[in-house]
Amino acid sequence: MTDQPAQDRRMLEALVCPLTQTRLRYDAERQELISEAAGLAFPVRDGIPIMLVDEARKLEK
């Protein structure tokens, strides 16, 4: 697996949660954007963040 360019990572980290409008944390290993506030993980597929709540994975507490 190749690392994403720094500019792509910065773009992903600049996004906010569509529910809470809080910052997201990028998990490169799982290819997800994590919203701690909403308890959701949004997938990143082929470098494209999928910011749909229906597509998000619920985080385990």
Q: Residue 4: pLDDT above 70?
A: no
Domain range 6-58, CATH architecture: Single Sheet (2.20)
Q: Cα torsion for 40, 19, 31, 5, to the nearest 10°?
A: -150
* Matching residue, tokens 């999928």: 50
Going by pLDDT thresholds of 50, 70 and 90, the confidence category of residue 10 is: confident
Domain edges within the chain: 6-58
Per-residue model confidence (pLDDT) at position 1: 45
23 with 10: CB under 8 angstroms?
A: no
> Could you tell me which residue, 8 or 43, shows the higher pLDDT?
43
- Report the distance separating Cα 59 and Cα 48, nearest Å: 20
> Could you tell me which residue, 40 or 2, shows the higher pLDDT?
40
Sign of the CA dihedral running 36, 21, 4, 45:
positive
How do residues 24-49 score in pLDDT, each as one tens digit?
Answer: 999 989 999 999 999 999 999 998 99
Cα 35 from chain centroid (whole Å): 7
